[in-house]
């Protein structure tokens, strides 16, 4: 399995001003901020950006956030920001930022943890918490492309209310197309048939893989360090080739 490397920032990528166009509450701790770029912004599903805030005294704080919006939506850039009490950037977004505010942003960054329809599948996405953001970009790209590539999202959350993008994901799943959603809720009983009520383990991954119509081509795993370690080891334990697993870790 391979982790996304710390991507160097190409000289051509410059900081630009982006304006908060809309704010949407996703869960009790996660809010989406939809930005309007001041310059054209093309990216691939799975890439991320760096956000920079500058205080009145000149102090600057930076944070990397994965892009949740689809590559086709070039006029809007969505970042799902989880509030971290000890963070330097997330409290600003949750407590201060308003529609119309400007911030600095640069990107896109990253060429390892990406997927586009032409890459084919089947694809397994595994995420937890705000780690679903780059996976959501892939799912939205998949939907916009009207893709027939089999893609399954295994999303872990503590509770039903903590499932980020829940309504949109459920709606896509109900279409019974090439996208399938499986939820594993760690602190509540599952509410849907086929979902789970425990943490990810090898038997769960084995059962999930049987829901795909053909052998897995690639897996993308994104979340906290502990989640990525557990999910990746479960994939390998279920027989997935380590070289086909790509991971992105938060909190490094």
Instruction: Identify the band that residue 78 occupies on the pLDDT scale cut at 50, 70 and 90.
Output: very high
Tell me which range, 31-40, 53-62, 161-170, is most confidently predicted by mean pLDDT: 161-170
Query: CATH classification of 117-250 is 3.40.50.80, yes or no?
Result: yes
**pLDDT the model gives residue 245:** 97
Query: What are the residue ranges of CATH 2.40.30.10 in the chain?
Result: 2-109
Q: Ramachandran region of residue 158, left (φ > 0), alpha (ψ -120 to 50) or beta?
A: alpha
pLDDT digits (tens, 9 = 90+) for 126-159: 999 999 999 999 999 999 999 999 999 999 999 9
Under the banding of pLDDT at 50, 70 and 90, the label for residue 8 is low
The verdict on domain 2-109 having CATH code 2.60.120.10 is no
* Rounded Cα gap, residues 60 and 239, in angstroms: 45
Q: Which residues contact 86 (CB under 8 A, 6 or more apart)?
A: none
User: Which residues in the chain are classed under CATH 3.40.50.80?
Assistant: 117-250
Q: What is the pLDDT of residue 13?
A: 78
**Predicted confidence (pLDDT) per residue in 203-249, tens digit:** 999 999 999 999 999 999 999 999 999 999 999 999 999 999 999 98
What confidence category does residue 252 fall into, taking pLDDT thresholds of 50, 70 and 90? very low
Helical ranges in the chain per DSSP H: 90-95, 132-144, 166-174, 202-209, 225-237
pLDDT at 251: 60
pLDDT confidence bin for 75, thresholds 50/70/90:
confident
Q: How far is 212 from 230, CA to CA, in rounded Å?
A: 21
3-state secondary structure of 3: strand
At residue 38 the predicted structure's pLDDT band, cuts being 50, 70 and 90, is confident
Q: How far apart are CA 69 and CA 55, in angstroms?
A: 28
């Amino acid at each position: 399995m391979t982790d996304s490397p710390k991507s160097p920032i190409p000289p051509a990528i410059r900081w630009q001003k982006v304006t908060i166009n809309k704010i949407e509450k996703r869960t009790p701790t996660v809010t989406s901020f939809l930005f309007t770029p001041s310059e054209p912004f093309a990216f691939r599903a799975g890439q991320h950006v760096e956000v920079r805030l500058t205080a009145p005294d000149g102090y600057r704080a930076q944070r990397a956030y994965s892009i949740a919006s689809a590559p086709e939506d070039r006029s809007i850039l969505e970042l799902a920001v989880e509030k971290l009490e000890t963070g330097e950037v997330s409290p600003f977004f949750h407590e201060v930022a308003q529609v119309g505010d400007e911030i600095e942003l640069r990107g896109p960054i990253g060429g390892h943890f990406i997927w586009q329809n032409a890459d084919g599948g089947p694809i397994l996405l595994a995420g937890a918490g705000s780690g679903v953001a780059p996976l959501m970009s892939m799912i939205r790209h998949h939907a916009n492309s009207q893709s027939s590539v089999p893609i399954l999202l295994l999303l872990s959350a503590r509770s039903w209310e903590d499932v980020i993008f829940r309504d949109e994901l459920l709606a896509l799943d109900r279409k019974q197309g090439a996208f399938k959603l499986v939820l594993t809720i760690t602190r509540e009983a599952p509410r849907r048939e086929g979902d789970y009520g425990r943490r990810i383990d090898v038997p769960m991954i084995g059962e999930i893989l049987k829901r795909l119509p053909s052998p897995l081509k690639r897996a993308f795993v994104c979340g906290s360090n502990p989640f990525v370690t557990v999910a990746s080891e479960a994939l390998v334990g279920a027989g997935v080739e380590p070289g086909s697993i790509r991971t992105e870790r938060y909190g490094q």
